[in-house]
Amino acid sequence: MSKNLYIKTFGCQMNERDSEIIEQLLAQEGYVPTDSAVGADVVLINTCSIREKAEQKVFSLLGQLREEKASNPNLLIGVTGCVAQQEGEHIRERMPHVDLIVGTQQIYRLPEMLDRLTQRVSAREIATDLEASFAIPPFQKLLINAPPSPTPHGFRRFVTIMQGCNNYCSYCVVPGTRGREISRPVADIVEEVEILASQGVKEITLLGQNVNSYGLTNKVAETEVGFAQLLRQVAAIKGLRRLRFTTSHPKDLSEPLMRCFAEIDILCPHFHLPVQSGSNAVLERMHRKYTVESYLDKVTKLRQLQPDIALATDIIVGFPGETEADFQATLDLLRTVRFHGSFSFKYSDRPHTRSADFTDKIPEEIKSRRLQEYQTLQDEISLERNSESMGREVEVMVESGDHAAYRGRTPVNQVVHFAADGQSFAPGDLARVVIDQAGKHSLKGRLRSEP
């Protein structure tokens, strides 16, 4: 008999990809995905711990599930992902109704763990070892045998190329929650992308916390292939129309990688390069291992090689000890680079990170004011950047829509809405659109009339 599985995913694309893998793994055991915890047999919360708020969301959802479990005592509740890794058994001190705790590298164990719980061989299950899962044959097979996504975005998929992080930025939980950096063998990555392309996938995003150091740190298989070479190999796979990757650490951004933006046709000229702060003093305390000057040098080189490149970034405001002058330096950096967009966050203390013990914490109201100021400036710049597209013809990869109107994205990841003009497009199709309206979050346009 089939069982209903509800997975709620928080956090980054790596977690989204892990949720897909879990769904696939459990499909083989007869679990069918549902979109609500009500009436489900198993609920899994795939958690994120990057900021305090992210973790709070997890515990508030677990709190709500207590009632669901009271009305359905057979319901199994599991916690996976970064909070599971970080808190382990402690989760049950606050949430005793949790049956299952699975760390980031142990998801391939889920079928046996759920089996023991449903057979009532055990009442509680926990697995939080941080061994490298790429080295484990069932996990490798899983990553490769992923079926096409049933979502409307099935034309666009993520492919994990590495796990973990060795950088130990002083504020960050990831090295603790995802373990040491480990690169997946090239042959497996290429095989996975080939399978996806043959299933009609048009856009691939290669995923890792620091893709620039792909192949340089711990490897599962012996390979001398660096990230730039990997990109070239993946780009050569027939059928793909767009290639992206995330995330890159500025200190490891090499010239060969920069050249890829000029030389690989299908590599989208959109680069997420998190800078975190515009102050060298703050960058040093963050343990980022680059300076504002070296970051700006790389931006200049990138723009020489690919003048159309759109840069996006991550910013933390209110890092411990951040002075008003440090914050102004971050605004200056934003004015200088004129990022197309940024994700900006208020600093929050995280467990087992060095900055949690730093003194000079910034009061909440100052952090809020700085975040507001940063975001207002970014919005102005995003609008100016988007306005640069006015009158231009852009290539849009269609995501959704019908005979009336469609929505899609440009190579630099701007959202575009356009009228269908009687034409019909499937998700993943490319349309040529002339832009006639620009907002800070999206563009509007009309189909190019045939010459």
The residues binding ligand F3S (CB under 6 A) are 11-12, 14-15, 48-50, 81-82, 173-174, 177-178
Tokens 């929050």: give the residue: 348
350 is in the binding site of which of ligand SAH, ligand SF4, ligand F3S, none (Cβ under 5 to 8 A by kind)? Answer: ligand SAH
Tokens 């020489």: give the residue: 304
What is the closest distance, in whole angstroms, from the C-beta atom of residue 374 to ligand SAH in the complex? 12
**Torsion-angle region of residue 283: left (phi > 0), alpha (psi -120 to 50) or beta?**
alpha
Q: Which of 104, 209, 330, 410 binds ligand SAH (CB under 6 A)?
A: 209
Residues in contact with ligand SAH, shown as a per-residue x/- string from 113 to 152 under the rule CB under 6 A: ----------------------------------------
d(C-alpha 328, C-alpha 342), whole Å: 16
Q: Scan residues 341-360 and list those touching ligand SAH (CB under 6 A).
A: 345, 347-348, 350
In terms of CB distance, is 263 or 314 closer to ligand SAH? 314
Task: Write the single-letter amino acid at 283.
Answer: L
d(C-alpha 419, C-alpha 444), whole Å: 9
261 is in the binding site of which of ligand SAH, ligand F3S, ligand SF4, none (Cβ under 5 to 8 A by kind)? Answer: none
Q: Give the total residue count for the chain.
A: 451
| Residues 430/396, Cβ–Cβ less than 8 Å | yes
189 is in the binding site of which of ligand SAH, ligand F3S, ligand SF4, none (Cβ under 5 to 8 A by kind)? Answer: none
Q: Does 249 bind ligand SAH (CB under 6 A)?
A: yes
Type and span of the H or E element at 322: none
For the record, the structure tokens of 347 come out as 């600093």
- In the complex, which residue's CB is closest to ligand F3S? 11
320 is in the binding site of which of ligand SF4, ligand F3S, ligand SAH, none (Cβ under 5 to 8 A by kind)? Answer: none
In terms of CB distance, is 13 or 413 closer to ligand F3S? 13
Q: Which of 29, 252, 314, 429 binds ligand SAH (CB under 6 A)?
A: 314
Q: Which of 9, 47, 85, 247 binds ligand SAH (CB under 6 A)?
A: 247
Buried b (16+ CB within 10 A) or exposed e, 216-239: bebbbeebebbbbbbbeebbebee
Q: What is the dihedral of CA 112, 116, 118, 121, to 10 degrees?
A: 170
For 189, the 3-state DSSP assignment is helix
What residues line the site for ligand SF4 (CB under 6 A)? 165, 167-169, 172, 174-175, 209-210, 249
In terms of CB distance, is 14 or 438 closer to ligand F3S? 14
Number of residues that bind ligand SAH (CB under 6 A): 17
Q: Does 171 bind ligand SAH (CB under 6 A)?
A: yes
Q: Scan residues 216-235 and list those touching ligand SAH (CB under 6 A).
A: none
For 187, the 3-state DSSP assignment is helix
| Residues 47/69, Cβ–Cβ less than 8 Å | no
In terms of CB distance, is 106 or 247 closer to ligand SAH? 247
- Can you list the positions of beta strands (E) in 192-256? 203-207, 242-246
Q: What is the DSSP string of 273-305?
A: ---B-S-HHHHHHHT----HHHHHHHHHHHHHH
Positions touching ligand SAH (CB under 6 A) are: 50-51, 171-172, 174, 209-210, 247, 249, 274, 276, 314, 316, 345, 347-348, 350
